[in-house]
Structure 1
């Protein structure tokens, strides 16, 4: 189990994430990824799902055609943890390497 991020550790971790925003009313972060088409979006989700399962950390997400809306929070910690930052960083890296565009 990961502990909840607080104080300066939280500020530092969130400062390193580009395009992620705080979810209103929750201790969570969110981002929308936009891909060329459904196939790219679903392929990305599949790659992330395999890693998320190994991490025992599962994103909240919704996919419509080429758009993927993601919310990350750690339910066991009742808020943001290192697991969320790790998964967000990985998602950004994979989306960027594949030439996919991301937007808030």
Structure 2
């Protein structure tokens, strides 16, 4: 099982990410895609690394707006796995022009 990160480590990792914020035991980010089909394409692309890592974000879709939330439920908090997937989500959203 992955180890949870302390507050200092979480704060440090957040400085490495674009637009992510801590909300309790989650990190969250909201982006807006150019269109609804593009928002769905972002979700579809995020599914690939999430499935590969067996670590799945909570995703809320509201038209072109996507909200991603990450936490490691099995560890009871934030772990390196959350930040690793957040980095991959960032790469996907940049490539898909979701800001």
Which consecutive unaligned segments of at least 5 residues does structure 1 have? none
For residues 65-102 of structure 1, give each alpha carbon's deviation from its aligned partner in whole angstroms, at most 9, with x where no partner exists: 1110111100011111111101111111111123222x
Aligned residue pair count = 99
What TM-score comes out, normalization by structure 2 length? 0.90
- 2:93 is matched with which residue? 95
Judging changes above 3 Å, is the alpha-carbon distance between structure 1 residues 78 and 48 closer, same or farther for their aligned structure 2 residues? same
Point out 4+ residue stretches in structure 1 off by more than 3 angstroms.
Answer: none
- 2:44 is matched with which residue? 46
What TM-score comes out, normalization by structure 1 length? 0.86
- 2:12 is matched with which residue? 12
- 1:86 is matched with which residue? 84
**Coordinate RMSD, CA, aligned:** 1.4
- Is the aligned partner of 1:55 residue 2:56? no
Within 2, Cα distance between the matches of 1:65 and 1:7? 34
Query: Is contact 2:28-2:67 (8 Å) kept?
Result: yes
For residues 9-38 of structure 1, give each alpha carbon's deviation from its aligned partner in whole angstroms, at most 9, with x where no partner exists: 333222211211111xx3111110100111
